[in-house]
Chains A and B, each alone.
Chain A
Amino acid sequence: DSGVTQTPKHLITATGQRVTLRCSPRSGDLSVYWYQQSLDQGLQFLIQYYNGEERAKGNILERFSAQQFPDLHSELNLSSLELGDSALYFCASSVGGRARGTGELFFGEGSRLTVL
């Protein structure tokens, strides 16, 4: 158990719809990262938040947005869904800040999104 909690574990929806994925980081971790894993693909970095502020952005589509709340949980919003958005969405957390530590990220079990 990594300590990172993601909900929901599975989600099936239709094209054009909007969904929200939720992530609770490990206790004490300030950074949250979102990654997308499509079929037979590696983990593609989407976005990082640190203590409520956006820190880094990857290849995140304009239809996708995220935020990190004061209690440090994060949500990834996916809108106008297309078939190609079907993927596993992982959240990860790390301590961040001045103590860079080992650079290790701790991953949740992922949210599997299926768009029909």
Chain B
Amino acid sequence: DQQVKQNSPSLSVQEGRISILNCDYTNSMFDYFLWYKKYPAEGPTFLISISSIKDKNEDGRFTVFLNKSAKHLSLHIVPSQPGDSAVYFCAASESAAGTASKLTFGTGTRLQVTL
């Protein structure tokens, strides 16, 4: 049962254009969402997050949008750069008072930014 889904295994975007990566979730208890970036031979690194009380969070070239009613979030990268080429994982967690919660990950989207 895949509770976090990234339906696009890969995406190719030209340098300077916008990259949009999508993620859907099924568990209505999820209230915190994160995006991780992974280069080959490295562990995933945190990119940006959003709480369910917000619908948008921005950090430089990266913006995450959350649509709770649709159980959908997206990551926008503007402008895209060749160094952004990596696998992007969407992740979600449930609040648990006083404890850290495990993350449930999607299967990832491989982004390639071409020159």
Binding site for B on A (CB under 8 A): 2, 4, 31, 33, 35, 40-45, 48, 50, 55-56, 58, 90, 92, 94-98, 100-110
Contact = CB atoms under 8 A, between A and B. Distances in A.
Interface stretch (B14-22, B69-77, B98-106): B98-106
A35 B3 CA distance: 16
B44 interface: yes
Contact of B44 (A43, A44, A50, A97): A43
Given A41-B107, A42-B89, A43-B89, A103 B101 contact: yes
Contacts, number: 76
Given A100-B100, A103-B49, 14 more contacts: A2-B43, A4-B43, A33-B103, A44-B105, A45-B105, A48-B100, A56-B102, A97-B98, A100-B95, A100-B99, A103-B34, A104-B34, A105-B103, A109-B42
B87 to A, nearest CB: 10
Contacts of A48: 100, 102
Given A2-B45, A102-B49, A104-B34, A43 B105 contact: yes
A56 B104 CA distance: 12
Interface residues of B, number: 28
A95 B100 contact: yes
Nearest to A41: B107
A105 B35 CA distance: 11
Interface in B64-115: 89, 91, 93, 95, 98-108
Contacts of B104: 45
Contacts of A55: 99-100
B99 A96 contact: yes
